[in-house]
Amino acid sequence: MLNDFYNSMLIKEKGISKYFNQKTLVDGISFDSKKEANRYKELKLREKAKEIKDIQIHPRFLIWQGFTDREGKKYQPINYEADFKYLEKKQVKGRMIWVEVVEDVKGMKTEIYKLKKKMFLSTYNQYQFREI
């Protein structure tokens, strides 16, 4: 417990992220980690090679509608924000088609992430989902 307190104080004092990831800037875009920034660079190379197209960064998906309860209290909608969405060229039954892919680059899988991922998959099953 004392160790947790010390770590939280160190994080606040040094400005270190909770999961020790380092924000990184590539092409004027801020990424939450070096791993995510590196994946973006890989996707840009694949786009240049015409393997993928239409890269979207941090696309948002509604996974739970906002609502108002009986007492009139309003609840905000819940969104899932992936790291990337793109179209990938794939061969199916001898034809080339474009498949929609949603990707999440993860170092630490939090309980909130796991829950939102399940909600996303149950709502948006038309996408091919990948964790990197």
User: Is residue 120 packed enough to be buried (19+ CB in 10 Å), middle (13-18) or exposed (0-12)?
Assistant: buried
pLDDT digits (tens, 9 = 90+) for 121-130: 999 999 999 9
**pLDDT of 7 higher than 60:** no
Q: What is the pLDDT of residues 59-102, one digit of tens each?
A: 999 999 999 999 999 999 999 999 999 999 999 899 999 999 99
Q: What is the longest distance spanned by two Cα atoms in the chain? A: 61
pLDDT digits (tens, 9 = 90+) for 15-63: 555 556 799 999 999 999 999 999 999 999 999 999 999 999 999 999 9
Does pLDDT of 10 surpass 50?
Answer: no
Q: Do residues 132 and 103 make contact, with C-beta atoms less than 8 angstroms apart? A: yes
Single-letter code of the amino acid located at 24: T
Amino acid present at 50: K
**pLDDT score, position 48:** 98
Indicate if the pLDDT at residue 108 is higher than 60.
yes
pLDDT at residue 107, rounded to an integer: 86
User: Would you say the pTM of this structure is higher than 0.75?
Assistant: yes
For residue 15, the model assigns a pLDDT of 53
